[in-house]
Chain A
Amino acid sequence: MSPRFPLKKSLRSVLLAVSLPALAATAHTGAAVAATPAAAQAAQQGNIIISADQAKKLAASGAKIIDLRPAKDYAAGHIPGAINLPWIKFNQREVDGVRNEFASDEVIERELAAAGLSYDDTLVIYENSALPGRAYVVFDYAGFKKVHVLDGGVGAWKEKLSTEAVTPQPSAFKLSQKKEIRVDKKFVEGKVGKADVTIIDGRDEEAYLDGHIPGAKSLPAPKLLTAERTLKPQSALAQVLADKQINPDDEIVSYCGSGVYAANNYLALRNLGYRNVAFYDASWDEWSRDPKAGQSIAYDNYTFNVAGGASAQTTADGIPVGGKSGVPQFIDINELKKASDDKKSVIIDVRAPADYDWGHIPNSVNVFWDTTLNADRTLKSTAELDKLYKAAGVTPDKRVIIYARGGYQLTHTYTTLSLLGYKNIDFFTGKFEGWKSK
């Protein structure tokens, strides 16, 4: 019990003098924060992903640091004061054949409570790179308003890491402010082909080329990071997005294979100030298994290198000898001409009717390969296909020679005919002379 000093009185007045302007300042920023969500998001531009210094400052003023890595990595060394909340706890590896889905609300709530978190907390989360998207989206979904991400992950922390575990005091956290940020397949279906919507595919270029949601643009998430796994500079990112015509004013739908890269893109775009980004969590896992969903493929057509290549059965001195045991052969022009006159053979030209009309192999019939597909690009039924081919005089008892001008057309027709039970099929893709022309 200290005796009363006259200093205490002056202290109070000093405090008062200082606090008033401080209050005013806070009110100012508070007003800014309380503005519209869009503006709020804009204000967060570059504010989600923060540097190590900024992280330190926030930590000093009471922010909670969360290490999202597995317990083993946390134990080996973590940012001093960080609590361990492995993101895998929010994740289900596979649900109904779709990988990397959110855990249930109960589980999310439980884990957040165990970590002692509350909606008032300012969080600084980190993993191994600037884009721990998978975890970020859960926090976003949970309703946390003040979430930051350490740019470059644990690698950006230049000081010594601590091995001292921090055990948080559990809180009475309830998922009362959650907001659904995920969209479902139906939503995405409705956006395909829309002018002001941009669908972005976060997977590697190769996967994108092999099949993507029609109209989607390729934005491989790893490309947004530098070699040190920090986020590329804003100017660089803005350039990349501008080049791909992914505009900040567009409605964006982000997907990938299972939702990991999609979340990374989601985080990166939000960080850049994009205001309208939807997250299609089920992604390609779900989309691609629906035969009717529609896919675009970006690989060029291909051909078979027939000259001494594909049908490579020859004797030691180079006489081509094919086994007539159900293996299709690439036949030469002489054999084709003979087959053209043979009643037991039929040459089927699978090109578009317009091409066929202008000039075709004498006695060949036309069944455009595309007519084997329905409007939604699924294969017609067996009955319909049988009818289609029969109408052109193509029946399984005959020797069928497919004349095609590209790998897709050839392979598609061969597969279709094989499914219908045709066993005697050969190919002709070579030079032909003697067209029956218009």
Chain B
Amino acid sequence: MSTRISTSPPAAADHYLVTFVGGFILLAALGIGLAIDARQAFLFLLGGAFGLTLFHASFGFTGGWRRFVQERRGRSLRAQMLMVAAAALLFIPLLASDISPWGRPLAGAFAPVGTSVVVGAFLFGLGMQLGGGCASGTLFTVGGGQARMLVVLAFFILGSLVGTAHLPWWLTQPSLSSINLSKSFGWVPALALTLGGLGLVALLSIWVEKRAHGMLEARSTPFPLTLRAWLFGPWSLTAAALILAGLNAVTLFSAGHPWSVTYAFGLWGAKIAQAAGVAVGEWTFWSWPMQERALNASVLADVTSVMNFGVILGAALAAGLAGKFAQGSAKLTLAPVVAAILGGLLMGYGARLSFGCNIGALFGGIASGSVHGWVWFALAFLGSIVGMRLRPFFGLDGHKPT
């Protein structure tokens, strides 16, 4: 999930895959539109757009953080900061206005700043490096045909389910209430603080990179300017960053809340467990009103689930267009699979504890002006550093497994 070398020949598009996936997406959208409503179908397609974007730009957090820590290259990290900043420019004013397109005001991604976020984010960051992808990364690589990521996803779901069982306890641990920078300082200062913070991280990465390499890495993928580039990829990180920010704003407006990913994993886990006979409905978490309703309703009624399906399919479509489906898929040997299992479990559990993942907490939280997003970022990064150190033990990064 890192830079593409510009001299590699563009692969031929996989026509069958594109047709199949494209057709499936359309049918699914129709089905969802009929089963639920037009808005849900739109959100599904929006998920598709997210997936396509993520894949075409290979926009991953995990590799980016690793490159920064291990190689002192901060391009990906800076693209992430740009993405969040662009989103904040849209989110914070939108949330400050009392606009209520669906009868109630838009909800930002806010969560209490406490023990569960600190612990959960750290575990997520750790798991992220073992699994080889964060939440959005797992989805788009699964869509892109990486079999190993299916293992990560499966255990991500399991970890989330366990997380729902434990979350009520975690919520009784010491915690501040959620801190909304807009409410604390007014939205203009909140926006300034947010942009300032993100800018600071970017500047820091520039300083670190220059110190280590003398100059910043050259851009390898140009900003897509032709239709061909847009359709078949690859996209520059900058382009993806801006588009993802825009898509998240559309999500905020259409769904009433920012893009989220990991909530669905807990739901899927619960539904599967319920189908297997486990009395999940009696768990404290699943007896909370909104969760109970989600558990008892069709999975298609859950916005996050539907968008996740969209992300996977959108990535698959992009993979087909770019001719990169299942490209470079390594053989599944034991050690990397163990890492995938552990990574998935840690991410699932960690995300549930910390009210989200890189998308829900970092992207959505910081862009909404929530302090928990920053805490999440910091702790996940720390966890990632630890995770990076553990990767060699599992035979990742070309090392022999220990």
Contacts and interface: CB of A to CB of B under 8 A. Distances in A.
B371 to A, nearest CB: 13
Interface string A316-340: 1111111111000000101100100
A321 B176 CA distance: 10
B70 interface: no
5 contacts: A318-B290, A322-B177, A323-B176, A324-B175, A332-B284
Interface string B100-112: 0000000111111
B6 to A, nearest CB: 41
B301 to A, nearest CB: 14
Given A316-B110, A332-B284, A335-B172, A321 B178 contact: yes
B288 A319 contact: yes
Given A318-B290, A321-B178, A324-B177, 20 more contacts: A307-B289, A316-B108, A316-B110, A316-B257, A316-B258, A318-B288, A318-B289, A318-B291, A318-B294, A319-B111, A319-B167, A319-B288, A319-B355, A320-B288, A321-B112, A321-B171, A322-B177, A323-B112, A335-B172, A338-B172
B168 interface: yes
Contact of A308 (B109, B111, B290): B290
Given A319-B167, A319-B355, A321-B112, A314 B290 contact: yes
A311 B260 CA distance: 24
Contacts of B108: 316
- In the complex, the 6 A-B pairs of residues with the closest C-beta atoms, listed nearest first: A318-B290, A323-B177, A308-B289, A316-B257, A316-B107, A321-B112
Contacts of A338: 172
Interface string B68-88: 000000000000000000000
Interface in B151-179: 167-168, 171-172, 175-178
Contacts of B284: 332, 334
Contacts of B111: 315, 319, 321
Nearest to B257: A316
A129 to B, nearest CB: 46
B263 interface: yes
Number of contact residues on A: which range applies? 10 to 19
Interface string A86-125: 0000000000000000000000000000000000000000
Contacts of A324: 175-177
Contacts of B355: 315, 319
- The secondary structure that dominates the A interface is loop
Contacts of A322: 177
Interface residues of B, number: 26
Interface string B239-260: 0000000000000000001101
B279 to A, nearest CB: 15
A228 to B, nearest CB: 45
Contacts, number: 55
Interface in A281-331: 307-308, 314-325
Nearest to A323: B177
A316 B177 contact: no
A159 B259 CA distance: 76
Interface in A333-385: 334-335, 338
Contact of A317 (B172, B175, B260): B260
Contacts of A335: 168, 172
Interface string B167-196: 110011001111000000000000000000
Contacts of B177: 321-325
Interface in B252-306: 257-258, 260, 263, 284, 288-291, 294, 304
Contacts of A314: 290
A334 B355 CA distance: 21
Given A332-B284, A334-B168, A334-B284, A317 B290 contact: yes
A401 to B, nearest CB: 13
A314 B178 CA distance: 10
Interface in B89-133: 107-112
A282 B178 CA distance: 53
A318 B267 CA distance: 13
Contacts of A334: 168, 284
A317 B291 CA distance: 8
Nearest to B110: A315
Contacts of B178: 315, 321, 323
A338 B173 CA distance: 13
Nearest to A308: B289
A344 to B, nearest CB: 13
Contacts of B304: 317
A320 B108 CA distance: 15
B331 to A, nearest CB: 38
Contacts of A323: 112, 176-178
A323 B110 CA distance: 12
B278 to A, nearest CB: 18
